[in-house]
Structure 1
């Protein structure tokens, strides 16, 4: 992404001319799209039709799966755009719509994983508070609506701006790869936009999520529920891996690139483009979160896949967690 009004820097132009990079990114997107649609299609079916009751945790997972599937339907357009040499021919409205889907997935995923982490924290570390303050499914549904509202309000400039950019020297029209500096009215507006995307929608949720899972692991460490503790550790590892591998590089590079571009006329565009590509990997890893976060999802998936039944030791552990699972949806 370049905040530019007229002339592009050499790093951006060289990337547009680099066919090998374009093909490599397209291949990654193709693999992600296939894994996304298969994994999240199965997950959505299990969550909607095979998992009951619809606890708050399940509602959060449905919300996360919905955002992942939205990304899966948008990626084929990005693949075509890449293979056409960064030439967008579907018009500015479609460009803005698909860009919104792209980034809504990222930030709604971050907020939803934070909500799942808070849900587990309340269920395991603060069970009394959890029972007193939670009002069944309504709070989870309101939370999901709030997440979407927050993300869409922060990303509102993307909906109201023409994100296409003509590059006559290359004979192409880009989509979101070059942003006009006047997309926002002032430099302070750019600072506010960056603060909201990088800190409000990423860094703050990352800190909250990390805190919740550390406390959950510490709490389970004092109990004898070895199987539950092992799953909690694996879940925490996957969630934090998604944050550090998928979300952190892109948001850090986005912040650094935009600051360098606005204030120093330099670019980290190639690095940003690659980290944006890998940020989509979260949609492939989310089904693993469901597997370790939901006992009901885990059992239904085992039945569908005809996996061998649980060992006797793990079965006893699962049985001991039934009451807690019914209360907290974990």
Structure 2
């Protein structure tokens, strides 16, 4: 539950950063581009990789529940989850803050509206930009391998349980389905972005492929932002607390609707009775 809460926080912060990204498309000033290339880019980086890493944590936690159903492993404790989450946010915030500081200290002065953020970069910012995205690609690759491993291991345990006709096979099938949802969302949202992003970073100033990669990168970024819409599926399938709250909310809505209908029925009956009484008195 701790990792799902942090995943929700990452999605919420990403939604808050979207206006900066949207405004730069119709921006007619250098300041709008400066805000986008500094705060907008770092906010997208921070929240995207927070989502990627916390998805991996959620998958690892589900896998540990299968391997260690008793929940005795140290990584399954709430305290450990809080510490891991805090360290993750700090590790993601550090390069984001460093990038923004270096960007504003060394940015190139521009009088016309740039075509891309690379025109603001000094040599030091350009180098830092490439280093950050290289490490980001490595993180994505490691998380991808981890998710495939977790799904493969879960599928293998399901097969073993079905062959042995164990009572827990149905629960394992459900766990495999949840893992498949997580892996599918991860691949759909983040794989295209990284396939385009890494070449774009290193061929940013190329006159031939640079513009093409820019538009591909923007399209892939929009697809990665779509992760915010798909993450509720993760909460729906993986969080029992979330599902219980949805049930309670639907029950509350049904009760309120029933009360409203009963009150309206009583009002109608009282009106009919009053009319009937007035008619009899007139007679």
Q: Distance in 2 between matches of 1:191 and 1:173?
A: 20
Q: How many residue pairs end up in the alignment? A: 245
- Of 216-225 and 158-167, the range deviating more from structure 2: 158-167
Which residue of structure 1 aligns with residue 157 of structure 2? 219
Question: Aligned ranges for residues 28-43 of structure 1 at < 5 Å?
Answer: none
Question: Aligned ranges for residues 128-143 of structure 1 at < 5 Å?
Answer: 130-134=71-75, 136-143=77-84
Which residue of structure 2 aligns with residue 298 of structure 1? 243
Which residue of structure 2 aligns with residue 59 of structure 1? 2
Q: Secondary structure at the match of 1:161?
A: helix
Q: Distance in 2 between matches of 1:165 and 1:298?
A: 51
Q: Secondary structure at the match of 2:247?
A: helix
Q: Distance in 1 between matches of 2:204 and 2:196?
A: 12
Residue of 80, 83, 86 corresponding to 2:23: 80
Query: Given that residues 193 and 221 in structure 2 are in contact (C-alpha distance below 8 angstroms), is that contact kept between their aligned partners in structure 1?
Result: yes
Counterpart check, 1:152 vs 2:97: no
**Cα gap change, 1:121 to 1:270, in 2 (>3 Å):** same
Question: Aligned ranges for residues 1-330 of structure 1 at < 5 Å?
Answer: 58-84=1-27, 87=29, 89-90=31-32, 92=34, 96-127=38-69, 130-134=71-75, 136-162=77-103, 168=111, 171-172=112-113, 176=117, 178=119, 180=121, 182-184=123-125, 192-199=131-138, 201-221=139-159, 222=161, 223-225=166-168, 228-261=171-204, 266-267=209-210, 268-306=213-251
Q: How far is 1:179 from its partner?
A: 5.2
Q: How far is 1:206 from its partner?
A: 1.6
Q: How far is 1:92 from its partner?
A: 4.1
Query: Given that residues 67 and 105 in structure 1 are in contact (C-alpha distance below 8 angstroms), is that contact kept between their aligned partners in structure 2?
Result: yes
Q: How far is 1:232 from its partner?
A: 2.7
Q: Distance in 1 between matches of 2:83 and 2:180?
A: 28
Q: Secondary structure at the match of 2:72?
A: helix
Q: Distance in 2 between matches of 1:226 and 1:113?
A: 24
Q: How far is 1:265 from its partner?
A: 7.0
Q: Distance in 2 between matches of 1:257 and 1:99?
A: 14
When the two structures are superposed, what TM-score results if normalisation uses the length of structure 2? 0.73
Q: Secondary structure at the match of 1:138?
A: helix
Q: Distance in 2 between matches of 1:91 and 1:257?
A: 18
Q: Secondary structure at the match of 1:172?
A: coil
Q: Distance in 1 between matches of 2:181 and 2:50?
A: 17
Query: Given that residues 165 and 178 in structure 1 are in contact (C-alpha distance below 8 angstroms), is that contact kept between their aligned partners in structure 2?
Result: yes
Q: Distance in 1 between matches of 2:216 and 2:47?
A: 20
Q: How far is 1:115 from its partner?
A: 0.5
Q: RMSD of aligned C-alpha atoms?
A: 3.3
* Greater RCO (Cα-Cα under 8 Å, separation 6 or more): 1
**Cα gap change, 1:102 to 1:132, in 2 (>3 Å):** closer
Bigger helix share: 2
Q: Deviations over 1:47-106 (max 9, x none)?
A: xxxxxxxxxxx1111101011111111112222222336x45358467523322211110
Q: How far is 1:224 from its partner?
A: 4.1
Q: How far is 1:281 from its partner?
A: 0.9
Q: Distance in 2 between matches of 1:265 and 1:179?
A: 20
Q: Secondary structure at the match of 1:84?
A: coil
Query: Given that residues 93 and 162 in structure 1 are in contact (C-alpha distance below 8 angstroms), is that contact kept between their aligned partners in structure 2?
Result: no
Stretches of structure 2 that go unaligned for 5 or more consecutive residues are 253-283
Q: Distance in 2 between matches of 1:269 and 1:102?
A: 16
